[in-house]
Every structure is written in structure tokens, then in C-alpha cells.
């Protein structure tokens, strides 16, 4: 069995999707002991809704963005080269089994949870022919004395039960890095996040145990004298029968022999637990640089600032991952000759930058009237087909003149 066939067998979905298998491997990793006494690993972190939402949001948002090959053309700006093999790989289909979305998202999940994301490049005649996402836990990175990296990929056990590994050169492995002190190693996100997740999980566990072990009673019954065993059992039975359960709430309670009911207020520390959980959600959002409203925390959000929040999310969070992907893909998937000819790889961010329809159309109208956008350029931004050469015409405002022409006209009039 060839190495390529072995790779396909590993990464091709079977009973589980390949993405789920990779996630399972990440979740099996050892954790870090947090200050709250809870050991935090990727599995525990993803069980908190804040971490899960941030990881899912970032990976999904980037994976669904169109990633294309462009070429700079004189007098025409740039044009997308749909015929380029790399454009097909990164925009539509990583390989024969995986679309680009499902290929890119697990790489980003690995990047967010482990600090590294890997894509192995299968080439034909020197050109990329297939892209294969690789679980970070399968990859060992080595640096030689000259500073050149290579990657040892664990393929698992072969048909004879022997562990099989292959060595992949730098040119055939796309490596995405998280926060790094030296561009070689990265900080482990789960270790950095351990205290925030540990405290959030401790607050969640405390609240869960509070309800599991019995909600604190809302009041107590006080009697002036000690009750006999028979009287106590009769009183307990009558109270449970008449007042226990949701259906018996707020019924009138009759007390005998001078008994009094005293209400107990909820202790203030319970409210503090809720506040602690809220604060830790903000802490997790801050760690991933995600605006809280993007993970369904609308406490400080308004309908009027959502567009600004989307711009903040793009500039402060997503661009941290988008720019390196564009640059490393351009470096390793395009040849030096292609790069010198003006080829490069870039995301189309128009879907994230769009405002409401009325605002977009107003801006298009102004750009058209002032002569710096043509009809075809506007239609392209809205993913509409062009209308031919007539749509390439630019308008010139008739009421605008060069200041020099105005002065000349005055002089001639005099």
C-alpha cells in the first residue's frame, strides 16, 4: 500500500467524520492544573459554552470565507484566476473526499486549541494537487542545525501492526502558528486559559451541585415546644402531600399549636456566583478577542452598534488568523515564478464588511455618481454577473470643474 493511500485511509471519513476524529484526539490530551484545583484540558474547556462558542465561531467564520488566487494585471487592477489549480483547492475542494470548508475548519480548530494547524500538500509535477489536513497530535516538528524544519507524521499502525511514520519536508507542509515567542514553538492556549476555564467550571459545578443536592429551603416552621415523633411524622406527611411539587406551590398552609412560618431570603453569595460566571464568560471572550455579543452575551450590546461590533470582530480577532493564512498559502502553494508574475492568495472579505442593504446601495449610488465605480464593479461586489462592455463605463460629474479651468474662464470673460 502506497504512502498516499495510507494517508487517504487515515483522513477519509469512516464511522466518524475525520473532523470529529481529530477533535477526539485533541480532547484526549493531558490538561493543566488551574488555580481553582480543576485540571483543564481541551475536552473540559470545550464543555464550557463560552470556549465552545468562541472556537466554533472563529473556525467557522474563517472556513466559510472565499479564499482565491488573484493576479495583478496592469491597468485592470487585479483579476481572480479561476483556472489555477490552487484556486480550486483552496476555494472549493481540498481533495477528492473533502470540500474546502470541511478541510479548513479542523485545521483552525487545531490551531485554536493546540497552537498549531497543519495541512500536508500532495504535489504532481511540482504543482499542488491535493491538500490534506493533519491532526496536530500526529505531527512532530524537528529543526535541523541550519534552522530548517521538517515534520514527522504518525500514520498509525499498518496492516502488520507496526507503527508507520513519514517525514514531510517544509515545502510540503503548511504550518499555521498561534501566539509564538520565536516563530518555532507556540504557547499552549489551554495552559494559558486554564485558570479562566477552571474558575468558570468551578462556578458551574457549584451551581449544579446546589440544585442536585436540594435547593435551599425558602423558609422554616418554628414551634414553641418540642414535637412528639408521632406529631412530627403527621406534620411532615401533611406538608409534603399538600405543598410539595410545582403543582402545589402557593397553596394556603394551616399551622397548628402555635407553629410559625419564617421566610428565608436567598443568601447573597448565590448572586455572587452568578456574577462570577458572567465575568468568566467575558474573560474567555477576552482571551479569544471575541466581542461578547458574538457568543450570545447581549448585556452590553445594542442594535445600533452591531455593525461596529462586526467590524471589531473582523479587525481585532479574525485578521490575526486571516493574514498569516494568506501569506503562508502564497509562499508555499504558489511558485516563486508565479509570485514574481503578480500571483497571490487572498480572502474575499466583502461578506463580513457588508452593512445593511440600504446602506450598501446608498454607498454604491454615491460611488457610481462620483465616477469611481462602474456598474460591473458594483454588480461584482454583489456576486452578480456583469452586463457587458456597457457596464464598464465610468460617469463624470457634470457640475465639477478643475479650479484652474474656473480661473481661466474668469480671465477670458474679463
> What is the pLDDT at residue 215?
45
* Dihedral (Cα; 353, 358, 362, 363), 10-degree rounding: 0
Task: Output the CA angle 97-101-102, nearest 5 degrees.
Answer: 50
Closest CA to 133 of 63, 69, 44: 63
> What is the pLDDT at residue 26?
52
> What is the pLDDT at residue 15?
41
Closest CA to 42 of 187, 190, 186: 190
Cell 454604491 sits at which residue?
A: 364
Question: Which segments of the chain have a pLDDT < 70?
Answer: 1-36, 75-77, 203-222, 242-259, 261-274, 276, 299-307, 354-357, 383, 400-410, 413-414
Q: Say how far apart CA 24 and CA 143 lie, in whole Å.
A: 28
> What is the pLDDT at residue 226?
73
The phi-psi region of residue 191 (left if phi > 0; otherwise alpha if psi is between -120 and 50; otherwise beta) is alpha
> What is the pLDDT at residue 130?
95
> What is the pLDDT at residue 163?
78
> What is the pLDDT at residue 161?
72
Hey, is 130 helix, strand or coil?
Answer: strand
> What is the pLDDT at residue 218?
58
Q: Say how far apart CA 121 and CA 140 lie, in whole Å.
A: 16
> What is the pLDDT at residue 257?
63
Hey, is 118 helix, strand or coil?
Answer: strand
Q: Is the dihedral of CA 32, 35, 39, 44 positive or negative?
A: negative
Residues in the chain, how many? 414
Q: Say how far apart CA 306 and CA 297 lie, in whole Å.
A: 12
Helix pair angle (319-333, 49-63), 10° resolution: 40
Task: Tell me whether residue 23 is exposed, middle or buried, using C-beta atoms within 10 angstroms of its C-beta: 0 to 12, 13 to 18, 19 or more.
Answer: buried
Calculate the CA 11 to chain-centre distance: 22
> What is the pLDDT at residue 75?
61
Q: How far apart are the first and last CA of the chain?
A: 93
Task: Output the CA angle 76-74-353, nearest 5 degrees.
Answer: 45
- Is the entire prediction scored with pTM above 0.75? no
> What is the pLDDT at residue 319?
94
| Upper half-sphere CA count for residue 167 (Cβ side, 13 Å) | 5
Q: Say how far apart CA 94 and CA 148 lie, in whole Å.
A: 26
Amino acid at each position: 500500500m502506497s504512502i498516499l493511500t495510507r494517508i487517504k485511509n487515515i483522513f477519509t471519513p469512516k464511522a466518524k467524520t475525520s473532523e470529529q476524529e481529530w477533535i477526539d484526539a485533541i480532547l484526549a490530551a493531558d490538561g493543566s492544573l488551574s488555580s481553582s484545583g480543576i485540571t483543564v484540558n481541551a475536552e473540559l474547556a470545550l464543555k464550557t459554552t463560552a470556549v465552545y462558542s468562541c472556537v466554533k465561531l472563529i473556525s467557522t467564520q474563517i472556513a466559510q470565507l472565499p479564499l482565491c488566487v488573484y493576479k495583478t494585471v496592469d491597468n485592470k487592477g487585479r483579476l481572480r484566476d479561476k483556472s489555477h489549480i490552487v484556486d480550486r483547492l483552496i476555494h472549493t475542494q481540498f481533495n477528492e473526499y473533502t470540500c474546502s470548508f470541511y478541510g479548513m475548519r479542523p485545521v483552525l480548530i487545531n490551531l485554536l486549541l493546540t497552537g498549531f494547524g497543519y495541512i500536508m500538500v500532495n504535489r504532481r509535477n511540482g504543482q499542488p494537487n491535493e491538500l490534506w489536513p493533519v491532526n496536530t497530535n500526529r505531527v512532530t516538528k524537528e529543526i535541523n542545525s541550519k534552522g530548517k524544519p521538517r515534520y514527522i507524521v504518525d500514520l498509525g499502525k499498518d496492516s502488520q501492526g507496526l507503527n508507520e511514520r513519514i517525514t514531510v519536508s517544509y515545502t510540503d507542509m503548511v504550518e499555521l502558528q498561534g501566539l509564538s515567542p520565536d516563530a518555532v514553538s507556540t504557547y499552549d492556549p489551554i495552559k494559558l486559559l486554564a485558570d479562566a476555564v477552571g474558575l468558570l467550571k468551578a462556578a458551574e459545578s457549584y451551581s449544579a451541585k446546589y440544585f442536585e443536592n436540594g435547593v435551599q429551603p425558602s423558609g422554616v416552621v418554628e414551634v414553641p415546644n418540642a414535637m412528639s415523633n408521632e406529631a412530627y411524622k403527621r406534620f411532615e406527611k401533611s406538608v409534603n402531600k399538600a405543598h410539595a411539587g410545582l403543582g402545589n406551590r402557593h397553596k394556603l398552609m394551616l399551622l397548628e399549636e402555635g407553629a410559625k412560618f419564617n421566610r428565608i431570603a436567598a443568601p447573597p453569595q448565590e448572586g455572587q456566583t452568578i456574577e462570577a460566571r458572567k465575568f468568566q464568560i467575558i474573560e474567555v471572550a477576552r482571551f479569544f478577542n471575541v466581542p461578547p455579543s458574538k457568543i450570545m452575551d447581549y448585556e452590553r450590546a445594542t442594535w445600533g452598534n452591531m455593525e461596529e461590533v462586526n467590524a471589531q470582530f473582523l479587525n481585532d480577532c479574525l485578521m490575526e488568523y486571516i493574514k498569516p493564512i494568506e501569506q503562508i498559502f502564497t509562499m508555499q502553494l504558489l511558485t516563486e515564478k508565479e509570485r514574481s508574475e503578480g500571483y497571490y492568495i487572498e480572502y474575499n472579505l466583502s461578506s463580513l464588511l457588508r452593512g445593511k442593504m440600504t446602506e450598501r446601495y446608498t454607498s454604491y449610488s454615491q460611488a457610481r455618481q462620483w465616477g469611481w465605480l462602474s456598474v460591473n464593479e458594483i454588480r461584482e461586489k454583489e456576486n452578480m454577473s456583469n452586463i457587458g462592455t456597457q457596464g464598464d463605463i465610468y460617469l463624470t460629474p457634470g457640475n465639477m470643474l478643475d479650479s484652474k479651468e474656473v480661473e481661466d474662464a474668469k480671465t477670458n470673460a474679463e
